Amino acid sequence: MYTLVINCGSSSLKFQLINPESEEVMAIGLCERIGIEESKVTYQKKGGEKSVLLAPMPTHKEAVIIMQKLLTDEPSGIIKSLKEVGAVGHRVAHGGEIFTSSALITEETLKAIEECCALAPLHNPASLTGIRACMELMPETPMVAVFDTAFHQTMPESSYLYGLPYEYYEKYKVRKYGFHGTSHSYVSKRAAEYLNRDYEAMKIVVCHLGNGSSISAVKNGASVDTSMGFTPLEGLLMGTRSGDVDPGAMQFLMNKENLTIDEMLDVLNRKSGVLGISGVSSDFRDIMKAAAEGNHRAQAALDTFTYRVVKYIGAYAAAMGGIDAIVFTAGVGENDGEMRKKICHQLAFLGIDVNDEANAKRGSEQLISTADSKVAVLVIPTNEELAIARETIALVG
């Protein structure tokens, strides 16, 4: 029996069919531009060629039906029928304060996910449509919801409260939630396993640095703080998101540029971050190339990004009363050795010492600090789909 992992974004649906015993990926697919014209599906089964086909997908329901056909029909199929799927794990963006861990999907769970829609109006409704479509196709198959926010629900009040009138928290649940929870949880646990140390007795900082980036402080096996907030806009500088900005600057800019609040948010989400500062790209490889050619703004984008990562790590060292391990993960964290080195050099005061040879290696779990380093520094490739598959199996048994 296989485990199917489904991740519905606002206009996309990603899926992976995983063998839970060997943890092998049997098939992988991505449905894009759902609800817009020219929607397409990219699909590859184990040992097969990657194929791309155009297919109309007005909603996530059609995407789920196409996924079923790809997985079961000749020649793309890898299973005879969906009866070979023993369990489905769905990634859900927001679990609010209701979900502190993954949950078996029942009508009650669906109602609770619906209650969280106001907190993630683009993502949670998409997940719900995807889940309901899967339930129609596989009514007997147990399904699990794995939330991006759940891992951070252990944060203490002092970490999650904003300095706003308390009634906004009471009435509307406006607070820090944090995201990338599956990644932070998976990577921090793997780091403890790699170091052969007790996860429940460690102070770990996880740097998930990708197109979207967040840092978390994981103390004694629980998230105690994280850089993303009520939405994924807070915290670090990202590919196109601004991260922390003075809200007063927003009012000033809206007046100057005659922007509505939605237009301002669009600037903060899509035109800011390293793209906004560099004016080159949101892709770190392009920015590094431009910086090497002497582009000042590209260099400024990289320096500002690095500085903010260092600042958050320093803050979390203070928050936890020290750090045992720093872990780098996601696109930039896993691949950009130069960035890791710069960050670690600026943290030398913590007794961090990087092993240049280990830091230069790519693609696998790696301890990149020297034996003398007071803090262990690791690279752990994140694998959110596998983490979701494991959670799913753990819940359905």
Q: Which of 148, 225, 324, 336 is catalytic?
A: 148
**Minimum Å distance from CB 30 to ligand ADP?**
12
14 or 45: CB nearest ligand ADP: 14
Q: Can residue 239 be called a binding residue for ligand ADP (CB under 6 A)?
A: yes
Q: What is the DSSP string of 84-140?
A: GEEEEEEEES--TTT-SS-EE--HHHHHHHHHTGGGSTTTHHHHHHHHHHHHHH-TT
Q: Can residue 210 be called a binding residue for ligand ADP (CB under 6 A)?
A: yes
Q: Which stretch binds ligand ADP (CB under 6 A): 66-74, 106-114, 263-271, 277-285?
A: 277-285
115 or 283: CB nearest ligand ADP: 283
Q: Can residue 273 be called a binding residue for ligand ADP (CB under 6 A)?
A: no
* 3-class SS of residue 151: helix
Q: Can residue 46 be called a binding residue for ligand ADP (CB under 6 A)?
A: no
Q: Which stretch binds ligand ADP (CB under 6 A): 98-106, 131-139, 150-158, 280-288?
A: 280-288
Residue 43, beta-bridge partner list: 29, 51
| Edge-to-edge strand ranges of the sheet holding 376-379 | 222-226, 213-219, 203-209, 325-329, 376-379, 366-367
Q: Can residue 332 be called a binding residue for ligand ADP (CB under 6 A)?
A: yes
Q: Which token pair is 83? A: 């009866």
Q: Can residue 240 be called a binding residue for ligand ADP (CB under 6 A)?
A: no
Residue with tokens 């078996």: 104
Q: Which stretch binds ligand ADP (CB under 6 A): 4-12, 192-200, 253-261, 281-289?
A: 281-289
User: Do residues 90 and 99 lie in contact, with contact meaning Cβ atoms separated by under 8 Å?
Assistant: no
Residue 32, beta-bridge partner list: 40
Q: Which stretch binds ligand ADP (CB under 6 A): 22-30, 252-260, 324-332, 348-356?
A: 324-332
Q: Can residue 305 be called a binding residue for ligand ADP (CB under 6 A)?
A: no
Q: Can residue 212 be called a binding residue for ligand ADP (CB under 6 A)?
A: yes
The single residue among 2, 151, 160, 284 that binds ligand ADP, judged by CB under 6 A, is 284
212 or 235: CB nearest ligand ADP: 212
User: Under rule CB under 6 A, how many of the chain's residues touch ligand ADP?
Assistant: 12
User: Do residues 259 and 253 lie in contact, with contact meaning Cβ atoms separated by under 8 Å?
Assistant: yes
Burial class of residue 260, CB neighbours in 10 A (0-12, 13-18, 19+):
exposed
Q: Which token pair is 74? A: 């000749």
Q: Can residue 235 be called a binding residue for ligand ADP (CB under 6 A)?
A: no
Closest CA to 278 of 223, 329, 237: 237
Q: Can residue 223 be called a binding residue for ligand ADP (CB under 6 A)?
A: no
Closest CA to 224 of 301, 319, 126: 319
**Minimum Å distance from CB 335 to ligand ADP?**
3
Distance CA 64, CA 103 (A): 21
Q: Which token pair is 247? A: 């809200």
Q: Can residue 330 be called a binding residue for ligand ADP (CB under 6 A)?
A: yes
The single residue among 95, 232, 331, 381 that binds ligand ADP, judged by CB under 6 A, is 331
| Edge-to-edge strand ranges of the sheet holding 13-18 | 51-54, 40-45, 25-32, 13-18, 2-8, 85-92, 143-147, 103-104
89 or 212: CB nearest ligand ADP: 212
Closest CA to 267 of 252, 288, 285, 287: 252
The single residue among 154, 211, 269, 304 that binds ligand ADP, judged by CB under 6 A, is 211
- Any catalytic annotation for residue 148? yes
**Minimum Å distance from CB 210 to ligand ADP?**
2
Residues contributing to the site for ligand ADP (CB under 6 A):
210-212, 239, 283-285, 330-332, 335-336
Active site residues: 148
